[in-house]
Amino acid sequence: MIQRSTRFGHLLRSFRDAPSSSSSKIGGYLLASTASSPLKQACVSTNRDDEFANLDWDNLGFGMVPTDYMYIMKCSKGESFEHGQLSNFGNIELSPASGVLNYGQGAYEGTKAYKKEDGRLLLFRPDQNAIRLKNSAERMCMPSPSIDQFVDALKQTVLANKRWVPPPGKGSLYIRPLIMGSGEILGLGAAPEYTFLIYVSPVGNYFKEGLAPLNLYVEEEFDRASRGGTGGVKSITNYAPGLKALTRAKNRGFSDVLYLDSTNKKNLEEVSSCNIFVVKGNAISTPATNGTILAGITRKSIIDIARDHGYQVEEGTITVDELIHADEVFCTGTAVGVAPVGSITYQGTRMEFKTGAQTVSQQLYFTLEAIKKGLIEDKKGWIVEIDQ
Ligand code: COI
C-alpha cells in the first residue's frame, strides 16, 4: 500500500507550522510564489533532497500520489503560450464558469519517465505526445505549446520531481499534461483563457490484475466514439461517458470494456483505456485509426517493433466475429503498457486466448520495456534523456 495518508498527515502538519515563503529554487528553476494553496505551502518543508521520496515502492498501483511540483503556463484566446513555470503541487483555482468545467473544453496526454540504475532519467518519444496534444487541442479549439515548449516543460517537471521517479524495476513516473479552457464563458464558445499544466505521479501496473491476463467484455449498449466525434484525439470528454460501461463490466468481474464501432456494432474499436491488437500466426492486426480510434504512441511503437521482429502487421477492420480465430489478443497504451488478454466475452460467449511465456505479446512487451528503460540500445531515437 502507498503510504498516502501518513504523508498527507505530515504535509498538513508541516503546513500549519511552515513560515510563508515567496519563492524557492530547485534544479536551477525558480519557483513561483505559492501562498494560495495549503498543499503548495506544505510541500516547501518536506525534504526534497532525498534520493527517493518516502513511499512503499514495492507496492505501487495506478493511483494519484501527490508529488512536489507541477508546471503551469497560461495564455489568452488568440495568443500563444509563452512563459511557463514550476510551482509547488497543489490545487488550482478555477472560475465556476470556466470553459472546462461547463463545456468540457480540455485535452490531456499521458507519458512516463524511467530512472536507470545510474540515476539517469529517460523519457519515451515525448515529441509524439506534443504532436498529439496539438491535434487534440486544435480539435477542441484550444491553443497548444510548441513541441519544444512541451518537451522542455516535461523535462523540468520530471527533474523537479525526480525523487518521485520509482527505483529501476519498481515502476515509472506517470506524467499527465493537460490543456483546458480555464477562462470564464457562459454561453457556449471557446474560453477566453487557457491553462497548460503538467502533474506527475509514481505508478506501477494500471490494472489490478498486474501483469495477469485481462478479461474483456464487449460493450454493445454504449459507444465510445462516433464518426466526426473526438474519439481520435485525447479530449477529456472521451472518458467520463465510458464510466457507466466500465463500472458495469467491473461489477461483473471483467477487467475492462471492448468497444465496437457505433455504425455497424461489428468492428473492434478500442478498450476504454488502450488500443487492441489481434494475433493469428505471423500476422498481427489492429483497428485502423480512422477518426474514432486513438492514435496510441504505444500502439505505433508496437507496430514498428513487431515489424522489426518479422511479423506482418496490418491496420484495418477487424470484426468481432474474427476474434474466434485469434491465437492471441493484447492491449497497448501508455498507462497499460502491453497487456495480454486472456478472454473476451461477447453476447454471452467467452473466447479464450493464449497468454504467458512464448507469446507474441510478451516478446513485444519485453522489447518495448527494455527500450523505454534504457536496457537495450535505442536504435530508433525514441529515448530522450533529461540533463541533470
Ligand atoms: C494513458 O494510457 O496514458 C491514458 O491516458 C489512459 C488513461 C485512461 C489512464
Determine the atom of ligand 1 nearest the C-alpha atom of 62: 9
Nearest CA, atom 8, ligand 1: 273
The class that CATH gives domain 6-203 is: alpha beta
Determine the atom of ligand 1 nearest the C-alpha atom of 333: 2
Q: pTM of the prediction?
A: 0.89
Residues in the chain: 388
DSSP structural state of residue 242: G
Do 214-372 and 6-203 have the same topology in CATH?
no
Residues carrying an active site annotation: 234
Question: Ligand 1 test: best mutation among 237, 336, 368, 372, most atoms within 8 Å of CB?
Answer: 336
Domain map (residue ranges) of the chain: 6-203, 214-372
Residue with the bigger pLDDT between 203 and 25: it is 203
Distance CA 89, CA 70 (A): 5
Given a contact cutoff of 8 angstroms between Cβ atoms, the answer to whether 182 and 143 are in contact is no
Q: How far is the CA of 47 from the centre of ligand 1 (A)?
A: 30
Determine the atom of ligand 1 nearest the C-alpha atom of 239: 8
At 321-334, the pLDDT tens digits run 999 999 999 999 99
Distance CA 172, CA 115 (A): 8
Handedness of CA 252, 254, 260, 264 (dihedral sign): negative
Given a contact cutoff of 8 angstroms between Cβ atoms, the answer to whether 124 and 372 are in contact is yes
Confirm or reject: Cβ of 335 under 6 Å from ligand 1. yes
At 144-168, the pLDDT tens digits run 999 999 999 999 999 999 999 999 9
For the structural domain made of 214-372, what CATH number should be given?
A: 3.20.10.10
At 309-318, the pLDDT tens digits run 999 999 999 9
